[in-house]
Amino acid sequence: MTLLKEPDHGTPAKPGEATVALEVDGIPVSVPEGTSVMRAASLAGVDIPKLCATDSLDAFGSCRLCVVEIDGRRGTPASCTTPCADGMQVRTQTPKVEKLRQGVMELYISDHPLDCLTCPANGDCELQDMAGVVGLRQVRYGYDGANHLDEEKDTSNPYFDFDASKCIACSRCVRACGEIQGTFALTIEGRGFDSKVAAGAGETFMDSECVSCGACVQACPTSTLQEKTVVDLGMPTRSVLTTCAYCGVGCSFKAELRGDQVVRMVPYKDGGANEGHACVKGRFAFGYATHPDRQLKPMVRDKITDPWREVEWDEAIATVATRMKALQDTYGQGSVGAITSSRCTNEEVYVVQKMVRAAFGNNNVDTCARVCHSPTGYGLKQTFGESAGTQDFRSVAEADVIMVIGANPTDGHPVFASRLKRRLREGARLIVVDPRRIDLVRSPHISADHHLQLRPSTNVAVVNAMAHVVVTENLADKNFVAERCEGYDEWAAFVALPENSPEAVEEITGVPAGELRAAARLYAGAPNGAIYYGLGVTEHSQGSTMVMGMANLAMACGNIGRDGVGVNPLRGQNNVQGSCDMGSFPHELPGYRHVSDDAVRTVFEDMWGKELLPEPGLRIPNMFDAAIDGSFRGLFVHGEDIAQSDPNLGHVTAALEAMELVVVQDLFLNETAKFAHVFLPGASFLEKDGTFTNAERRVNRVRAVMPPKSGKHEWQIVAEIATAMGYPMAYDHPGEIMDEIAKVTPTFEGVSFALLDKLGSIQWPCNEAAPEGTPTMHVDEFVRGKGRFVVTSYVPTSERSTRRYPLVLTTGRILSQYNVGAQTRRTHNVAWHAEDVLEIHPHDAEDRGIADGDLVSLASRVGATTLRAQISDRMPTGVVYTTFHHPVTGANVVTTENSDWATNCPEYKVTAVQVALAPQGDRAAAEPAEVRA
Amino acid sequence: MSAAEASETRMANDIARNLAHLGFDKAAAELAGHIGRFWDPRMRGRLLAQVDAGAPGIHPLVEQAVKLLR
């Protein structure tokens, strides 16, 4: 493939069915009402010269290069800001406009460095192109007058440079920062000739509010804002369309390469999830894929105290197969299992669970979704009948009231957050339910109507109280409930109980009753009310209950089954949804069908030629318990670092040490690999071929831009292990795996690589009834028929603050880092977050004599670690917060074994802790964290 | 009692507390159903053994659910 360039029609498309008809240079064209003349011309095949216009931004009308003549109108209007009208006759090439354009270009070029041949943007510069298009042949003004050619270059950002000498002050970067990203970090400083782009108040880009999303770089028509990789490597020559491997937004990208070397990642305009936008991770933090820390050869060792020995693939695969079989011969069929990865493709996940079920002969397979969104699967299945979110991301543009619960989208799901912020700037109202004052509560042009700053662990009490208001104030959508749902009366009677009133729970939740009542009325009264939530909902002892509580609330208010509404999980990792869809849970085969269902099992038995067990297998925490107990002896860990990410690490590492065979497949020798006997090198997303499924059920193609550096695809390795264990598994291409998935999974019935290539992406269910997928679920009826109200009794967590551990720790992630940091720590993103810090309220800090930047000890009943304090009033008193991106901090050393009652999802968000100033001279932050048995 | 044995009791008690609002009989049936649907057989076996051994702190609903599971 050559370099893929999407068409740029100059101004955004206008929605609506009413059209107007006009002629551009005699060519008839019909466009939606409100469309600009520039866009209409482009659609008619006539490109009008432009510099300040691009179709990702609203028209601005500053460069005056796009002037045209319109019959019957005076002057030469800018085509970008002039809407089309019926019967309009537009002339884009007349002597008058040609002369005007040359004059404009002459002025631009008179103040622009004439270094095109050595400029990094040579060949990809709109100014250069336009000079040619308008036929500029001379600059009459000379270059000796006042100019900007000596402006200083800002190289502070690790990923891009800002060369002010090349700036034409078109404001595209400023507008991209505001309109697309919603950060408003950039501005035009000064007036007239002194106008210049500035980051913040005269700061460098690095010191400003800039979040390095790169929208400004993408929007820049010159080389003013330029990726450093382009400066270093030169312009790319080919593109491969693929999907980001970071968060669950699942952005589509053009990987732009020279040969096999990625020069830059450019978000794809036709990407359904991101529509041309990206964040600092997806756009820039891909360097880990070629980091020298990558282990590219398989390795084995007898004991974890032995040194690693590099071997060939055949030996590594034989070692895994032989030792797994030996364990089963000695300890039984159920003594081994596997953990699938939410970072890997659907095809890779599918073959791992197939290996477990068909080659291992048990159901001991679980996924890292266990520790994040398993309550989503349980709760939405119970209430709606399907373990997935209800909407596509575009839906938020139709929401009138948006409730964000236990999620921090600007950090965790930044590209979705940009969509959300855009809708808020258009006037949608916002309710934030979170113990922490996340950025959405108040940021440029955004202010939450209500911030319900609840105490950690009281989600269910809050959602019940909101439901109490809806029911007792007669705000429910009775028609929707009567037609679409069941179990309402029992549920309504429950939430109407006095003990569920906002006043009654105020002491428990810490949320003022009046504020909660107002928020409930706002949500219930909205024409379209949408709920978005994250791990602040699921990672609790009542995570599943809270998911059902939100589903109840949405059904009661009729907020299901159309654009602008819904209950929407913001998934943590790129393929959490897909890994769950693919049968990674120990009780479910692909498509969320229980292993005890004879008819379902028969489908797989016929396809796989192997009898399957009807009993559920072990979940991840159960595997650890069983390892310590002695009945579970061998584990295949596919792309997950359980020795850093899972709770109560002392228990996790004890379990890993107790096992006789731990196989790790990963890019790097991670923390878990310290306990491994076999290391199998994995493939980065740039080497993968397959599909990811994002949080909106969108199946996206992941295409390899280079062959696997280890020499084998991951699905291939798994198939070879299964074959070596006596269960032949052979595929020639991942497309064949998807074909098999489609045959055995009704929701994927119509999905194929061919259809994905044709449509770009597909949101499941994709079947005969929905041959191109399903953007919105439960439209006419719920998947289970009637939506089911479930009584959600509030049960306080057993994790309580005590005199010894008086504070509550809650954890989360930060924009620049991703999960355990294995990828982002190996990029320049460490410039923003070189270590995990503990956010602590000024009062709690003062009580303990802690100053900003002090090393502090953080201790719970299961462990202790040391990290730096950051004084912050984002947390209420009594609550502290940290991230878990750095193994040296080991934040999960202190989190406990408590978990969601229904799914065993860990209660990461609630740990009773004490914080104290670390002893003088303590250097423990650089030491391994202490683990108490 | 080993750590693993304690886990089954703890998890069963957690489920019991969250289903208790259903009333004793229905909650016990739901609890037994949940354990049957989501727990590996060896975990069920360990829970039964813990109840048989009179492990302390077992929720009455768990005791009833275990009877249904047998």
Statement to judge: residues A532 and A421 lie in one domain: yes
| Cβ neighbours of A790 (radius 10 Å) | 19
Q: What is the pLDDT of residue A469?
A: 98
User: Using CA atoms, how far apart are residues A930 and A924, in angstroms rounded to an integer?
Assistant: 9
Q: Residue window 32-51, chain B: list those with CB within 8 Å of chain A.
A: 34, 37-43, 46
Statement to judge: residues A418 and A515 lie in one domain: yes
Main-chain dihedrals φ then ψ at residue A297, nearest 5 degrees: -115, 145
Whether residue A436 contacts residue A838, with contact meaning beta carbons closer than 8 Å, is answered with no
Q: What is the pLDDT of residue A839?
A: 97
**A270: pLDDT strictly greater than 50:** yes
**Residue A230 in domain:** yes
Looking at A44-160, list the stretches that DSSP marks H as alpha helix, in order from N- to C-terminal side. 95-110, 126-133
Query: Looking at residue A835, which CATH number applies to its domain?
Result: 2.40.40.20
Last residue of a domain, one of A133, A164, A185: A133
What is the domain range of residue A868?
807-931
Distances (CA, A) of A119 to A71, A163, A257, A380, A389: 41, 11, 19, 54, 47
Residue A921's pLDDT band (cuts 50, 70, 90): low
**A928: pLDDT strictly greater than 60:** no
Closest to B11 (Cβ–Cβ): which among A363, A628, A904? A904
Closest chain A CA to residue B6: A625
Structure tokens at A805: 């551990």
Q: What is the pLDDT of residue A142?
A: 77
Q: How many Cβ contacts (< 8 angstroms) between chains A and B?
A: 70
Q: What angle do CA A281, A221, A2 make, to 5 degrees?
A: 70
Whether residue A540 contacts residue A457, with contact meaning beta carbons closer than 8 Å, is answered with yes
Last residue of a domain, one of A246, A266, A290: A290
**Residue A749 in domain:** no
Q: How many Å lie between the alpha carbon of B42 and the closest alpha carbon of chain A?
A: 9
**A930: pLDDT strictly greater than 50:** no
User: Using CA atoms, how far apart are residues A50 and A108, in angstroms rounded to an integer?
Assistant: 13
Structure tokens at A928: 């391994």
Q: What is the pLDDT of residue A932?
A: 39
Query: Looking at residue A25, which CATH number applies to its domain?
Result: 3.10.20.740
**Residue A700 in domain:** no
**Residue A105 in domain:** yes
Statement to judge: residues A157 and A179 lie in one domain: yes
Statement to judge: residues A425 and A517 lie in one domain: yes
Statement to judge: residues A554 and A605 lie in one domain: no
CB-CB under 8 Å, A615 with B18: no
Q: What is the pLDDT of residue A144?
A: 78
CB-CB under 8 Å, A904 with B42: no
Please, what is the average pLDDT of chain A?
A: 95
Q: Please write the tens of the pLDDT for every residue from A394-437.
A: 999 999 999 999 999 999 999 999 999 999 999 999 999 999 99
- Segment A261-287 mean pLDDT: 97
Statement to judge: residues A490 and A581 lie in one domain: no
Closest chain B CA to residue A651: B3
Q: What is the pLDDT of residue A926?
A: 44
If you count them, how many residues does chain A have?
933
- Segment A111-127 mean pLDDT: 93
Q: How many Å lie between the alpha carbon of A887 and the closest alpha carbon of chain B?
A: 26
Sheet holding A698-702, edge to edge: A690-693, A698-702, A761-763
Residue A484's pLDDT band (cuts 50, 70, 90): very high
Q: What is the pLDDT of residue A141?
A: 86
Test the B interface: residue of A901, A903, A932 with most B CBs within 10 Å: A901
**A188: pLDDT strictly greater than 50:** yes
For residue A66, which of A14, A134, A13 has the smallest C-alpha distance?
Answer: A134
Contacts of A791 in chain B (CB under 8 A): 21-22
**B3: pLDDT strictly greater than 80:** no
Number of domains, chain B: 1
Closest to B40 (Cβ–Cβ): which among A622, A791, A903? A622
Which one has a higher pLDDT value, B18 or A927? B18
What is the domain range of residue B65?
3-69
Q: Residue window 329-358, chain A: list those with CB within 8 Å of chain B.
A: 334
- Segment A726-730 mean pLDDT: 96
Statement to judge: residues A184 and A310 lie in one domain: no
Test the A interface: residue of B5, B11, B13, B18 with most A CBs within 10 Å: B18
Query: Looking at residue A206, which CATH number applies to its domain?
Result: 3.30.70.20
Instruction: Report percent pLDDT > 90 for chain A.
Output: 92
Instruction: Say yes or no: A791 contacts chain B, CB-CB below 8 A.
Output: yes
CB-CB under 8 Å, B21 with A902: no
Last residue of a domain, one of A133, A162, A191: A133
- How far is C-alpha A881 from the geometric centre of its chain's CA atoms? 21
Statement to judge: residues A215 and A279 lie in one domain: yes
Please, what is the average pLDDT of chain B?
A: 91
Test the A interface: residue of B40, B61, B69 with most A CBs within 10 Å: B40
Q: Please write the tens of the pLDDT for every residue from A770-793.
A: 999 999 999 999 999 999 999 999
**Residue A689 in domain:** no
- Segment A454-470 mean pLDDT: 98
Residue A924's pLDDT band (cuts 50, 70, 90): very low
- Segment A661-684 mean pLDDT: 97
Instruction: Say yes or no: B7 contacts chain A, CB-CB below 8 A.
Output: yes
User: Using CA atoms, how far apart are residues A37 and A502, in angstroms rounded to an integer?
Assistant: 55
Residue A925's pLDDT band (cuts 50, 70, 90): very low
**A587: pLDDT strictly greater than 90:** yes
Residue A200's pLDDT band (cuts 50, 70, 90): confident
Q: Please write the tens of the pLDDT for every residue from A498-544.
A: 999 999 999 999 999 999 999 999 999 999 999 999 999 999 999 99
Statement to judge: residues A409 and A548 lie in one domain: yes
Test the A interface: residue of B2, B5, B14, B50 with most A CBs within 10 Å: B14
CB-CB under 8 Å, A902 with B40: no
- Segment A465-487 mean pLDDT: 98
Q: What is the pLDDT of residue A1?
A: 65
Sign for the pseudo-dihedral over CA of A535, A536, A541, A542:
negative
Which one has a higher pLDDT value, A797 or A645? A797
State the pTM of this model. 0.95
Contacts of B18 in chain A (CB under 8 A): 542, 545, 793, 795, 901-902
Number of domains, chain A: 5
Closest chain A CA to residue B17: A795
Query: Looking at residue A342, which CATH number applies to its domain?
Result: 3.40.50.740
- Segment A106-131 mean pLDDT: 94
**A261: pLDDT strictly greater than 90:** yes
DSSP conformational letter for A164? G
**Could you give the angle at which helices A313-331 and A714-724 cross, rounded to 10 degrees?**
50
Instruction: Say yes or no: A904 contacts chain B, CB-CB below 8 A.
Output: yes
Q: Please write the tens of the pLDDT for every residue from A600-654.
A: 999 999 999 999 999 999 999 999 999 999 999 999 999 999 999 888 899 999 9
Whether residue A642 contacts residue A884, with contact meaning beta carbons closer than 8 Å, is answered with no
**A485: pLDDT strictly greater than 70:** yes
CB-CB under 8 Å, B34 with A617: no
Contacts of B50 in chain A (CB under 8 A): none
User: Using CA atoms, how far apart are residues A775 and A819, in angstroms rounded to an integer?
Assistant: 28
Residue A452 forms beta bridges with which residues? A433
Residue A922's pLDDT band (cuts 50, 70, 90): low
Closest to A629 (Cβ–Cβ): which among B4, B10, B34? B4
CB-CB under 8 Å, B42 with A625: no
Residue A795's pLDDT band (cuts 50, 70, 90): very high
What ipTM was reported for this prediction? 0.95
Closest to A586 (Cβ–Cβ): which among B15, B20, B40? B40
Instruction: Say yes or no: B67 contacts chain A, CB-CB below 8 A.
Output: no
Closest chain B CA to residue A628: B4
Contacts of B41 in chain A (CB under 8 A): 615
Closest chain A CA to residue B18: A795
Statement to judge: residues A353 and A205 lie in one domain: no
**Residues near A792 by beta carbon (within 8 Å), at least 6 away in sequence:** A460, A463, A464, A545, A546, A548, A549, A552
